[in-house]
């Protein structure tokens, strides 16, 4: 998943996978968390928020299942999944 820089409110970057409904957030501690089951509208509001940390605390934290990226749970969830050609084109803007 590609993340875009945010650099506000203790958040370095974030990205959203529409197909898997996962919002991935990298905090200034360099910890990367994946929030599962996040709808597109919630993710877009977070990604475009002028106060991303406040939005995160109000709308995401505690509301969605969180898994640290790189943990065994996150690895097993994505293990063996093949990326489709369409997904790769979407990621690289082709």
Confidence of residue 11 (pLDDT cuts 50, 70, 90): very high
Which pLDDT belongs to residue 75?
42
Instruction: Please give the structure tokens belonging to residue 20.
Output: 């898997």
**What is the rounded radius of gyration, in angstroms, for the C-alpha atoms of the chain?**
13
The residue among 25, 82, 80 whose CA lies nearest residue 57 is 25
Which pLDDT belongs to residue 78?
42
Which pLDDT belongs to residue 91?
65
What are the pLDDT digits (tens) for 24-40? 999 999 999 999 999 99
What are the pLDDT digits (tens) for 68-83? 987 544 444 444 344 4
């Amino acid at each position: 998943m590609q993340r875009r820089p945010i650099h506000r409110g203790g958040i370095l970057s974030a990205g959203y996978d529409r197909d898997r409904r996962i919002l991935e957030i990298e905090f200034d501690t360099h910890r990367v968390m994946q929030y599962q089951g996040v709808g597109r509208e919630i993710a877009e509001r977070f990604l475009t928020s002028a106060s991303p940390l406040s939005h995160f605390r109000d709308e995401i934290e505690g509301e969605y299942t969180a898994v640290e990226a790189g943990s065994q749970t996150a690895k097993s969830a994505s293990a063996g999944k093949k990326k489709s050609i369409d997904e790769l084109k979407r990621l690289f803007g082709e």
